[in-house]
Amino acid sequence: MFALSPVEWEIIQLSLKVAFWSVLCSLPLAVAVAFLLARAEFPGKSLFDALVHLPLVLPPVVVGYFLLLLLGRRGPLGALLDEYLGIVVAFRWSGAAIAAGIMGFPLMVRAIRLSIEAIDTGLEDAARTLGATRLRIFFSVTLPLALPGVFTGTLLSFARSLGEFGATITFVSNIPGETRTLPLAIYTLTQVPGGDAAALRLSIIAIVLSVIALMLSEWLVRRSQQRARGHDD
């Protein structure tokens, strides 16, 4: 039987918690950035675009290191957060979520941007002639029609978060019960003698989680595409 040990449970729950919060917090920002990139023209747009995509091409360790410099207890931002809001993210699970969110951000933006770009701007013009404000058009026309891309982006980023390793271990280290997510736990087990069997078990769990996430998102994407095309009944 494939019964999970309490430690394994803890790792899975922590991994899901980190991935869930990283996706949830980066989603609104990713939608806003995707909308800007898809619809707005402004000076420095290509630089901004490159900046958004940076985590995709940089070594994750570099991202983690910069996060540590910035958000560490003595980092400029980290010190401010600690002093005024009492928030500490370094070496905490919330820091792992931030690292994972940043690493998955370009994937999320890309998918959402593509689906916004595929929307006929004529529909938005039609909404304007009917008296809608830009904000209302965004929530009543653009966003519902971009949902397939939002779901795809969410999944890609969620999967990326579950697998995040380099930035996480550099920024928040590898603390059992706090920042030791699945990939970190697997890595740790491969470093100790006799840990192979346990590492394999966790690897299988990782595969199962990924497949479930993939299937769920496929289903959501298909559903939302049908809705957007108006074939759901």
Partner 1 sequence: MIDVRITRRLAGFSLDAAFTSDSGITALFGRSGSGKTTLINAIAGLVTPDDGTISVNGMCLFDRARGIDVPVRRRRVGYVFQEGRLFPHLTVRANLRYGFDLAKADERYIEFGKVVELLGLEALLERRPAKLSGGEKQRVAIGRALLASPRLLLMDEPLAALDHARKQEVLRYIARLHQEISVPIVYVSHAVEEVVQLAETVVLMAAGRVVASGAVGEVMGRADLRAQGIDFEGGTVIEARVAAYDSAYDLATLEFAGGQLKVPGIAAAVGEAVRVRIRARDIAIALTEPVDISVLNVLHGSVVDVKAGDDARAVVRVKVGMTVLTSRITRYSADRLKLVPGCPVCVLIKAVSLN
Would you tell me which residues interact with partner 1 (CB under 8 A)? Answer: 120, 122-123, 125-133, 136, 140-141, 144-145, 227-233
Cβ 203 vs Cβ 120: under 8 Å: no
Which is closer to partner 1, CB of 30 or CB of 141? Answer: 141
Which amino acid, one-letter code, is at 92?
Answer: R
In angstroms, what is the minimal distance from the CB of 231 to partner 1?
A: 6
Distance between CA atoms of residues 14 and 176, nearest Å: 10
In angstroms, what is the minimal distance from the CB of 132 to partner 1?
A: 6
Which is closer to partner 1, CB of 83 or CB of 233? Answer: 233
* Tokens 């997510």 belong to residue: 181
Which is closer to partner 1, CB of 112 or CB of 169? Answer: 112
In angstroms, what is the minimal distance from the CB of 31 to partner 1?
A: 17
Radius of gyration of the chain (CA): 20
Nearest alpha carbon to residue 108 among 53, 65, 50: 53
DSSP H stretches of helix in 138-181: 143-163, 166-172
In angstroms, what is the minimal distance from the CB of 134 to partner 1?
A: 9
Which is closer to partner 1, CB of 122 or CB of 193? Answer: 122
In angstroms, what is the minimal distance from the CB of 142 to partner 1?
A: 11
Which is closer to partner 1, CB of 5 or CB of 140? Answer: 140
Cβ 99 vs Cβ 167: under 8 Å: yes
Q: What is the dihedral of CA 139, 140, 141, 146, to 10 degrees?
A: 50
Distance between CA atoms of residues 185 and 177, nearest Å: 10
Distance between CA atoms of residues 100 and 19, nearest Å: 7
Which is closer to partner 1, CB of 124 or CB of 178? Answer: 124
In angstroms, what is the minimal distance from the CB of 24 to partner 1?
A: 24
Cβ 162 vs Cβ 15: under 8 Å: yes
Cβ 149 vs Cβ 211: under 8 Å: no
